Each structure stands twice: as structure tokens, then as C-alpha cells.
A and B are shown apart, each in its own frame.
Chain A
Amino acid sequence: MKRIILILLLVSTCLHARKTVIKVATLAPEGTAWHDILIDLGQKWNQATNGEVQVRIYPGGILGDERDMVRKMRIGQIHAAALSTEGLSELAPEFSAFFLPLAYQNFDDVNNVLADLLPGLSKEMENDGVKLLYVSDLSWAYWFSTEPIRVPGDLKDKKIFTWAGNYEYEKVYRKAGYTVVPLAGTELLSGLQTGLINTFSTVPLYALARQTFGIATHMLDMKWGLLLAGVVIDVKTWNRIPKKYHAGLIQILDEIKERSVNVNRESELQAIEAMKQYGLQVHTPTPNEEQQWRKEVQRLGPIMRGNTISEETFDRVMNILQVSQEE
């Protein structure tokens, strides 16, 4: 009898030990498309591993901003995170390449740069203890303002929002002669209401969710920047999942990625259309105006090179994009 109890105890302990709980943090609020993607992912991983993997999601920035998430992952408090370019560049500074203004004009440009950078980046991150599971475009960023902005000169007398804590960008914009006001993202609307800021660049869905379109009623229809979305997991946790499941889990991620890319792109268009119905005026730059922006970006390039992005990565990305845009 004693032997049976001992065996039962051992079996139950083994079964218990085999369960891997993955704590994932994200800024995406509950009930949004990006949060839904994580729910779907968690359930599919759970099924694919016969219940051995359980994904627990902490949404809406409950665990802090993306820098906090990366820090918490490094000290083992959480095991994974769904991040934007901001958090990804905390893990690998080369991701700053996706912050370059006006550099990417279509998804081919993005995919060409990702295809070139990712193998090295993934390896580098893995050596640093983090596995990059997923990365894709999330949305383009555009200029939103209280008065129309058509050419770079229109930015000169504006008070431009920058993310508090993003000192390099603050420095770059100041050096380029712009007036920037660093604020937390949550202060965007109150900043506009009080006149502390009157211009900002962001993705349309964020502008909509923050209800800024009632005050910042103008948008420049020019792809100023790009936001990426990525999912990372710490290597130790990934390795705790039996190897036999790894390929299946990656396949699930790839399937979800395909769907989410479409959802993200559609959401961006819907957000612009919805804001237009509420009075947002969208200005499409003329070829001449576009030319002026390109010139301005050429002026910004040397200020960014070696500051917000390493010289080597900057040159590499510019070369890829030159080839991509000539094709």
C-alpha cells in the first residue's frame, strides 16, 4: 500500500512539474484586437501541448510600460512580453532602425529590412537570453496636429510631443531645430487640451483611442514612421517546454501572425476612416511637398546616425532600402 501511495505521489509530482506557466505582459488593453491575439495564442498553445503550457496574460500595462516589462523579464518576474518597437529596441538597439522617419514606404521595404536584420538579431537576442518568437508591422505613424502641416517648415513653430524618457529622440529633434515637449503617453490628450503640445506623430488607432482627433483635427497622409509588434520569451522558459512541441508552437504563431497582420492593417484604415467621419482632415502631400520632406529627412539622417541608431545599422538599412526602392 505504502508503495502505491509513493508511486501515486511521484506521478502526481511529475505531472505537476511538467506544467509550464508563461506570464506574458502587454500594453494592449483588454478586449482589443492585440489582446485577443494573445488569448487565442494561449489557448492554441495549451491545446497543442495537451495542457502542459499555460499562458497567463497581464494586459493594459498592469505591469508597467515596455521598459518595465523588459526589466521584469530579465529578472525572471515575467516570462514573455508582447512589445512594440519601443520595447524591442530595449532588447536589441538595432530595432531603432524602424524608427527612421520616412525610410519605409511600403510593406516590401519593411520585409526586406526584417529579412536582412532578423537572423542576426534573433541570434544576438538569444545569446542574451531572449527568444524572438514573432515580429511584424503593427501600423504606420503619421503627423497629427491642431493646424495643418504640409511641409517641414510648418513644424518649426509647433510644440511637438515626444515620449518622456526617450532622451535620444528629444536630443535629435532639438538639434534639428524643433521644439519638443516630453510627456507620458497618457498625458497626450490633456497636453493638447492645455496647449502644452499641438503636434505629435503616432499610429491612427492610438490617436483614436486617446480621443485626440477632436483637437488635433489634421493628419498628414505621409508614412512618417512605422511601429512593429513582437512577442518575446525568455530562453529558460522556452527550454522548459518539451522540445517535441517547439515546432508546433512556432507554427501556431506563424498562423496567428498572418491573421493579425491583416487585422492590424485593416484597423489602421478603419481608424483613419472613423476619425474622418468625426471631422479629421487628411492632407495628402503634393510631389513638391513630399520632396521637401525627403530633403528634411536627409538633414536629420546624420543627426540620428550614431545617436539613436548605430552607424553600422544605419548604413546597412539605408543600403537595403535603396535597393528595395529602386526595384
Chain B
Amino acid sequence: MGFKGKLPCILIIFFTAGCVPRRIIVDHPQLISTYYFENQIASFREKDSLTHPERRKLLKLEVEFAYGFILEEADRLFAEDYQQGLERAGDAYSLLKDAIKIGTLNLTKKYPEFEEWLSGKENIILFVQDDIYELYWLAAAYGGAIRASRGNPFELIQLPRVGKLLKAALRLDADWNHGALYSAMISYTATRSDLVGDALIDSVNKYYELAVSSSDSMDAGAFVSFAENIDKKFQHKSEFIRKLEYVSGMNINQDQDLRLGNIIAQERAKWLLTKTDEYFFE
């Protein structure tokens, strides 16, 4: 077996150990896409039936791949070639729809009335700490599907589900995974249609501050999310630049749990900085 033949194994070992060199993720995302995500996802899909832990793993893989790689690529493409961007967003959409099915299945197996609860019925489910994983990744899958669908009404209508899932997880352990839930609440709150002006800024700011404090300023996603959702929207140019420059200079190796998310957020921050003149009206 030559180097080329060993590459998939090497990448999988490095990736799962969280130490794949940053330059490979940034400069050769195709390698990670093909040798890690696509192969892993395909291997799960080949199986006749999946166990609960396997479904969990697949849910996370699909959301990470769709959100962190495909949608990131689609966003760059939209800026250059709309049609290609649309196609790539379509790829992410298919994966995220599958992730929604898997996350829902895991929670329905445990709580048969889960779908009723999610669709807004008054029933109460007593989730436990272990459910945060599914609640979080399912919320991310719904949020990603809405974004990837480019305004499809059947997806847009599901927005309250994102909030419901995240709030249920927050009630169990608000500081889970270095404040990942607070970070996700930044994006969700920014899309709430009943908030406007200062009320919107204050509500998003509350989650931003909690996310920053919970991660000890190490979750790059919180800064990028606030910069995109609030600073850009309200045309706070200097704040936008300040946050993104902070993320660009962050040492992403400091926290291994946040490393992959931080690499992706850091690259996004750098890309957004190049767009500053386009985004801000002067």
C-alpha cells in the first residue's frame, strides 16, 4: 500500500483524534470531505440497521459535514457563481434532511410523544442530560436545512423547532460543551420575527455574552455569529472588524474540543473580513 492508499486511514485516525493538521482542513477540504466524512457516512448507510450510538454518530457527521464544509463552500460559491452555489446548497440540504430523520428517530424511540412535543403540542417531556447531544445536533440540522433551502416555505416554517430544541437543552445544562448552546442561540435569536431594533440586539447580546464567558472567549463561532447576525445587520462596522480580527488571530489549538469548529469559524472570519467593503454602506 503506497502513501496514497494509506491516506484515508491516516486522515481518519488524525481527524478522530482531533489533530489533523489545520492546513489540510483549510487548503484541502476535499480530502477531509472524501476520506473522512463521505466514507464514514457511506459506511453507516450501507448497514441494514443502525444502533442508537451509530445513529448518534451519523447525525453529528452529517450535520458537521453539511454545515462546516458544504454550506461553507456554497456560501463562497454564491458570491462568485450563483448557480453553482445553489447546487452545493442542495447537496447540504439532502444531508441535513437525513440528519433530521436520524435525530428525530433517536428521540422518538426514547420518547414516543417527541414529535408531538416538537410540533408545538402542550405535552411535557422530561429530557435528561444525555439527550442534550440529540437536542443540539437536531436543532443544528433544522437550522442548517432552513439555510440550505434558500427560503423554502416548508423549511422556514420549522424555525420555532430550532428554538424549542435549544431551549430544552439549555434547561438541562446551559454550559454544555463550552457554551455551544448559547452560541447556537445567537443565530436562532437573530432570526426571531418578534424581535426588532434594540430588543433584538439586547436579546442576542445576552446569549453572546454567555457564550463568550462559558467558553472563556475560546469559541470562535460566537464572535463570528454575532458579527454576521448583528454587527452586519445594524451596520456596526468597527465592531464587525474587531470581532473577526480577534477570531482570525485566535490560537485554535488551545482547546481540542472546539478545534474543528474554530478552524471553520476562523476561515469564515477571514473570508468575511475580505467582504467588509461590500457589507457596509458608507
Contact = CB atoms under 8 A, between A and B. Distances in A.
A270 B160 contact: no
Sort A-B residue pairs by CB-CB distance and give the 3 closest, nearest first: A32-B151, A186-B196, A271-B153
A209 B281 contact: no
Interface string A116-158: 0000000000000000000000000000000000000000000
Contact of B193 (A36, A39, A184, A209): A209
Contacts of B159: 211
A211 B150 contact: no
Interface string A257-277: 000000000010011011101
Contact of A267 (B153, B197, B233): B153
Which residue, B82, B120, B147, B150, has most C-beta atoms of chain A within 10 A?
A: B82
A58 interface: yes
A189 B194 contact: yes
A189 B281 contact: no
Contact of B194 (A190, A277, A278): A190
A214 interface: yes
B67 to A, nearest CB: 14
A43 B82 contact: yes
12 contacts: A32-B150, A35-B151, A36-B86, A36-B151, A43-B82, A62-B232, A190-B194, A211-B193, A214-B120, A214-B160, A274-B154, A274-B157
Query: Which range holds the interface residue count of chain B?
Result: 20 to 34
Interface in B154-204: 154, 156-157, 159-160, 193-194, 196-197
A33 B196 contact: no
A209 B156 CA distance: 7
A184 B196 contact: yes
B48 interface: no
B81, B120, B150, B194 interface centre (most CB from chain A within 10 Å): B194
A71 interface: no
B27 interface: no
Given A32-B150, A35-B151, 5 more contacts: A32-B151, A33-B150, A43-B81, A62-B233, A208-B156
A209 B146 CA distance: 12
Interface string B76-88: 0010111100100
A60 interface: yes
Contacts of B153: 205, 208, 267, 270-271, 273-274
A56 B278 contact: yes
B152 interface: yes
B235 interface: yes
A270 B153 CA distance: 6
Interface string B6-17: 000000000000
Contacts of A186: 193-194, 196-197
Nearest to A40: B82
